[in-house]
């Protein structure tokens, strides 16, 4: 397949592009600078600029664009960056897709999303049909997913990929946690009773391929493993895998002091998310329990 990818330079995007290329697919990367290779094409989503010829004749488009949720404190200015860096690329791709002649239009558009859609939900199981929650992240995700509407209305199969905590030592939250545990100062975050929905990087890539190739899959897709756990159980398992103690908790007030609003919406929030669409459509998880997932993740 010919697959156009936006956001291929990030932690997830690099892994996905490498996997797809290894499987014989042709990848075209959308970049916001002069191209450095024939596989790159310049675009400017902040201005709504994307040449329709880039998408014409492609089989699929994948957008993983977005500034890092946990990279900076959520000042009003950075909240605007977080929103614009997601909505503008998604809108530009969706509207451009809608303008490509039907016989040349890509059949599927996979758009990154996040389980932040659900907000704080305690112990409530959250399949894709659950309503959205409240808070900045939930509102951001609602607008992010709504930006795909022009592609949906044009008849493109659209999947919004609601990703949870992606486990790999090479990136994401685990990259930050492992050194703490190795120094013997790891522990639960806040009360530790909040549910965390996780997925290994291997299954994240596998689930994206599954959504890409499975015509019956459309709409929201929870990219999480089948075994969401409480944070206290997560850190206990990580300590066990690393053969290190997990007895030094980080109090909620400390997290709020360091992380600001992200502490409540991204770390202390409880989201018991269920991958119902993946399971119902026959996806077979490579890592379906936490300990096996962490053993794989710390090695990758």
Kindly list the domain boundaries of the chain, sorted by start residue: 2-298
Per-residue tens of pLDDT for the chain, all 300 residues: 999 999 999 999 999 999 999 999 999 999 999 999 999 999 999 999 999 999 999 999 999 999 999 888 899 999 999 999 999 999 999 999 999 999 999 999 999 999 999 999 999 999 999 999 999 999 999 999 999 999 999 999 999 999 999 999 988 888 888 998 888 888 999 999 999 999 999 999 999 999 999 999 999 999 999 999 999 999 999 999 999 988 888 889 888 877 888 889 988 999 999 999 999 999 999 999 999 999 999 998
CATH of domain 2-298: 3.40.50.720
Neighbours of 84 (CB within 10 A): 14
Tokens linked to 68: 């890092």
**Packing angle, helices 201-213 and 11-22, rounded to 10:** 60
Helical ranges in the chain per DSSP H: 11-22, 52-55, 76-99, 136-146, 149-153, 172-182, 201-213, 231-242, 252-259, 261-262, 276-280, 290-298
Contact 218, 185 (CB under 8 A): no
Contacts for 239 with CB less than 8 Å, ≥ 6 apart:
181, 186, 245, 246
């Amino acid at each position: 397949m010919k697959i156009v990818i936006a956001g291929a330079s990030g932690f997830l995007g690099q892994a996905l592009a490498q996997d797809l290329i290894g499987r014989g697919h042709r990848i075209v990367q959308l970049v916001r600078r002069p191209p450095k290779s024939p596989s790159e094409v310049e675009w400017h989503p902040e201005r709504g600029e994307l040449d329709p010829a880039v998408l014409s004749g492609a089989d699929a488009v994948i957008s993983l664009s977005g500034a890092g949720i946990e990279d900076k404190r959520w000042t009003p200015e950075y909240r605007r960056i977080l929103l614009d860096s997601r909505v503008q690329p998604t809108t530009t791709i969706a509207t451009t897709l809608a303008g490509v002649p039907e016989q040349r239009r890509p059949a599927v558009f996979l758009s990154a999303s996040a389980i932040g859609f659900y907000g704080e939900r305690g112990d409530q199981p959250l399949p894709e049909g659950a309503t959205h929650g409240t808070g900045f992240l939930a509102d951001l995700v609602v607008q992010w997913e709504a930006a795909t509407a022009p592609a949906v209305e044009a008849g493109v199969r659209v999947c919004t990929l609601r990703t949870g905590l992606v486990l790999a030592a090479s990136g994401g939250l685990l990259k930050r946690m492992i050194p703490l545990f190795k120094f013997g100062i790891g522990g639960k975050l806040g009360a530790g009773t909040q549910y965390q929905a996780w997925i290994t990087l291997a299954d994240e890539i596998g689930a994206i391929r599954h959504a890409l190739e499975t015509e019956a899959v459309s709409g929201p897709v929870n990219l999480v493993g089948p075994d969401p756990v409480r944070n206290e159980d997560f850190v206990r398992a990580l300590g066990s895998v690393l053969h290190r103690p997990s007895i030094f908790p980080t109090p909620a007030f400390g997290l709020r002091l360091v992380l600001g609003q992200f502490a409540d919406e991204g770390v202390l929030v409880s989201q018991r998310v269920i991958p119902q669409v993946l399971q119902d459509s026959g996806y077979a998880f490579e890592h379906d329990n936490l300990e096996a997932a962490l053993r794989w993740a710390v090695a990758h």
